[in-house]
Amino acid sequence: MNMTYQRLNSEKLLEILSLSDNATAIYTGADIVIQSANEAMLKFLGKDKSIIGMRFAEAVPELVGQPFIGQLQEVWSTGKTYSAYDTVAELMINGKLEKSYFDFKYRAIKNDNGEVYCILHTATDVTERFLNRISLKEIQIREQSLIEELAASNEELTTTNEELLAMNDKLSDSAEEQVHARKDLEKLTDTLQQAMNSAQLGIWSAELVTGKLTISELGKQIHGIADDKEISLEDAKKMIDPDFLDKIISTVRKAINSDHNFELEYIIFPADGSKSKWLKCTGKTYFNPQNKPAAISGIIRDITEQKQDELRKNDFIGMVSHELKTPLTSLKGYVQLLLSKSKKQEDSFAVNALSKVEIQVSKMTAMINGFLNLSRLESGKIHLQKQDFDIDVLIEEIIDDARITTINHIITLHPCEKLIVNADRDKIGQVISNLLSNAVKYSPKGRSIEVNCHLNNEMAEISIKDEGMGIKPQDVDKLFERYYRIENKHTEHISGFGIGLYLCSEIVVRHKGKIWVESQSGVGSTFYFNLPLSTA
Ligand code: ADP
């Protein structure tokens, strides 16, 4: 059967086209006049049918400045179809500028002569697909960077792990070292303990705030305390001979305040009622983190035997000195007798020789007196016989005596005000005489020695200044110790026993005075001592 079809006119065709779900529009002319736009296209453009017949630029003004109008004009003039995908367009939808993404085509429709007579615009909204793809991409990118970050941190972790392993190795090394160190320390402590035991040294430690006393086993034995018994600082104090307490307390206090070590010798009456003992105790202050004195700790030693030896030695020295004094006194008497006889006979040779003998005898007497005093001091037999006297007069007398034996030095006494002191005149005389003879002994011939005396802080202060070899600072503190002598090439030919200054110091301190020295090596020294004035 033959079928004939009626051809649809262009308006009909456009009407049918407008029903399509695909967005479609037809434009003509270089101005791009909208000939037709179906519902779907109008929706994309956010417009209504009123735009049909209008120029594209007027109908959709928000697209001016975007590439589309230019592209349409290009298609019109060149006849070349233009397609694009995922292209963003900003359109005014319900009064709001919105971004949408499109796949679209501007197809140039030509007549038989190849001339463009309209442009067919088809478009698909791909916003959703596009955004999905974008977010997928973003996710992928993020995942990628996450993977990269993970890889980096993994690498870091590996390095850290390696470092940790190395550290662990080191730690186990140092733990091993610590074990070794602890063993070494234990060994050392053992050796120290053994050494302390064989040296018969006890250790003690006292907490200053609580008064808690800790004593080693040997320390307890020394004090006659049972091993399992504890004693307090107060209990220990009660065992000390009261004669020594004041000195102990002041020495320890001084040591705490000045952060110095201390050394003390004293007698105790042990807790078990055994015989009294001489102890030597050394100590040191320990400070807490706030730098406050927290404890004192040190070593104690029973020095009874040593003390007894010393006492025996002192007794012996005392005895010998005493025995020597009698012949020496008679020797001195005879020398003085002969000297005066020789002077009368004007026998200059004998006068000269006997004067020298007299000087030597005086020196020997001074030495013997020194030993005698030392031995008396040590055995506690030194007694002060105090009386009121004018110190100035005594100084003058001593200087006069010294001048007899001092030929090569000039001794000057500066006028002194009348100062009455209450003291043992003989012993203070010995102090002045000792200081004067040292000034002579330790300074070159021809140098002057100046003696001064004045009132200072309610005390009579006496000073003896020389221009001698002086004393180095490191020796100054030790000068007043028993048997201390400075050994150097200047002193090697100067005789002495190192007891003179010790005696001076003991005598002055027993008078509640003070003795000290100011000196500059190579320039000279000034020895000072002071005494309380008489209160009468
Ligand atoms: P010594 O018998 O040795 O003189 P001292 O106790 O009198 O004993 O003196 C102790 C030490 O002090 C001396 O050995 C000496 O080195 C030093 N010394 C004492 N007086 C002086 C002084 N005036 N100048 C320099 N050094 C002195």
Domain contains 93: yes
CB-ligand 1 contact for 485 (6 Å cutoff): yes
Integer Cα distance of 118 and 106 in angstroms? 10
> Is 278 in contact with 299 (CB distance < 8 Å)?
no
Q: Is the residue at 65 inside a domain?
A: yes
Question: 240 to each of 221, 436, 455, how far by Cα in Å?
Answer: 15, 39, 38
482 domain residue, yes or no? yes
**CA-CA distance, 72 to 121, in Å (whole number)?**
9
CB-ligand 1 contact for 471 (6 Å cutoff)? yes
Q: Which residues pair with 100 in a beta bridge?
A: 89
Rounded Cα distance, 334 and 342, in Å = 12
Residues 291 and 311 reside in one and the same domain? no
Structure tokens at 390: 């004018």
- Domain assignment of residue 443, yes or no: yes
**Distance from C-alpha of 391 to C-alpha of 457, rounded to nearest angstrom:** 16
Distance of CA 498 from the midpoint of ligand 1 (Å): 7
The Å distance, Cα 441 to ligand 1 centre, comes to 8
Cβ of 370 below 6 Å from ligand 1: no
- Contact in structure between 477 and 499 (CB atoms under 8 Å): no
Same domain, 417 and 464: yes
Specify whether 160 is located in the same domain as 293. yes
Residue 463 Cβ < 6 Å to ligand 1: no
Any ligand 1 atom below 6 A from CB of 479: yes
Q: What is the CATH number of the domain that holds 286?
A: 3.30.450.20
Specify the ligand 1 atom closest to the Cα of 499.
6
| C-alpha of residue 246 to centroid of ligand 1, in Å | 29
Give yes or no: residues 26 and 155 share one domain. Answer: no
Instruction: Give the per-residue SS3 of 476-505.
Output: HCCCCCCCCCCCCCCCCCCCCCCCHHHHHH
**Count helices and strands in the chain by DSSP H and E runs:** 14, 17
Measured from the Cα of 527, ligand 1's closest atom is 23
Gyration radius from the chain CA atoms: 59
Q: Is residue 342 domain-resident?
A: yes
Probe ligand 1: pick from 471, 475, 504, 507, max atoms within 8 Å of CB?
Answer: 471
pLDDT tens digits along 99-117? 889 999 999 988 888 889 8
Between the CA of 531 and the centroid of ligand 1 the distance, in Å, is: 22
Q: Could you tell me if residue 6 is inside a domain? A: no
Q: Measuring from atom 13 of ligand 1, which residue has the nearest CA?
A: 485
Between the CA of 336 and the centroid of ligand 1 the distance, in Å, is 29
DSSP string, 40-67: HHHHHHT--GGGTTSBHHHHSGGGBTBT
431 in contact with ligand 1, CB cutoff 6 A: no
Q: Is 422 left (phi over 0), alpha (psi -120 to 50) or beta?
A: beta
Instruction: Report the amino acid identity of residue 433.
Output: S
The tokens describing 431, both together, are 């102090």
Identify the three-state secondary structure at position 417: coil
Task: With H, G, I as helix, E, B as strand and everything else as coil, classify residue 291.
Answer: coil
412 in the same domain as 375: no
Report the b/e string of 54-89 with b at 16+ CB within 10 A.
eebeebbeebeeeebbebbbebbeeeeebeeeebeb
Atom 7 of ligand 1, nearest CA residue: 500
**Does residue 2 sit within a domain?**
no
**The domain boundary residue, chosen from 243, 271, 303:** 303
Pocket test for ligand 1, best of 442, 447, 507 (most atoms within 8 A of CB): 442
Residues facing 25 on adjacent strands: 37, 121
491 lines ligand 1 (CB under 6 A): yes
Query: Cα of 503 to ligand 1 centre, how many Å?
Result: 12
Same-domain status, 370 and 428: no
Give dist(CA 210, CA 220) in Å, integer: 20
Burial readout 171-192 (b: 16 or more C-beta within 10 A, e: otherwise): eeeeeeeeeeeeeeeeeeeeee
- Could you tell me what percentage of the chain is helix, strand and coil, using 3-state DSSP and rounding each to the nearest 5? 50, 25, 25
Is residue 283 within 6 Å of ligand 1 at its C-beta?
A: no
The two tokens of residue 18 are: 């407008």
Provide the number of structural domains found in the chain. 4
- Residue reference for tokens 């002071």: 530
Q: What is the CATH number of the domain that holds 415?
A: 3.30.565.10
Same domain, 268 and 287: yes
In short, whether 430's Cβ falls inside 6 Å of ligand 1 is no
Is the CB of 526 inside a 6 Å radius of any atom of ligand 1? Answer: no
CATH for 372:
1.10.287
pLDDT 10s digit of each residue in the chain, 536 long? 444 456 666 676 777 777 777 889 999 999 999 988 988 899 899 999 899 999 999 999 999 999 999 999 999 999 999 999 989 999 998 888 888 899 999 999 888 888 898 999 999 988 888 888 777 777 677 667 767 776 777 777 777 778 878 877 777 777 778 888 888 888 877 777 777 777 778 888 888 888 888 898 889 999 999 988 888 888 888 999 998 998 898 888 888 887 788 999 999 999 999 999 999 999 988 888 888 888 888 899 999 998 888 888 888 888 888 888 888 999 999 999 999 999 999 999 999 999 989 988 988 888 888 888 888 887 777 788 999 999 999 999 999 988 887 888 999 999 888 899 999 999 999 999 999 999 999 999 889 999 999 999 999 999 999 999 999 998 998 899 988 888 888 878 888 888 899 999 999 999 999 999 999 999 999 999 999 999 87
- Domain range for 347 is 304-382
- DSSP symbol at 114: S
Spatial neighbors of 510 by CB under 8 A, at least 6 apart, are 382, 384
Same-domain pairing of 219 and 149: yes
DSSP 8-state secondary structure symbol assigned to residue 240: B
Judgement on whether residues 142 and 186 belong to the same structural domain of the protein: yes
In ligand 1, the atom with minimum distance to the C-alpha of 503 is 6
Contact 27, 121 (CB under 8 A): yes
Q: Please indicate whether residue 440, judged by its CB atom, sits closer than 6 Å to ligand 1.
A: no
Same domain, 95 and 31: yes
The number of the ligand 1 atom at minimal distance from the alpha carbon of 491 is 16
CA of 471 to the centre of ligand 1 (A): 9
Q: Choose the final residue of a domain: 352, 382, 412.
A: 382
> Which of 382, 403, 424 is where one domain is finished?
382
Tokens of 55: 């120029």
Whole-number Å distance, alpha carbon 421 to ligand 1 midpoint, is 27
Summarize pLDDT for 387-420 with one digit per residue, the tens.
Answer: 999 999 999 999 998 888 788 899 999 988 889 9
Q: Are residues 235 and 337 in the same domain?
A: no
Handedness of CA 67, 69, 75, 78 (dihedral sign): negative
Q: Whose CA is nearest to atom 16 of ligand 1?
A: 486
57: in domain: yes
Dist CA 298 CA 277 (whole Å): 18
Tokens of 74: 């290009």
Q: Are residues 390 and 457 in the same domain?
A: yes
Integer Cα distance of 76 and 266 in angstroms = 127
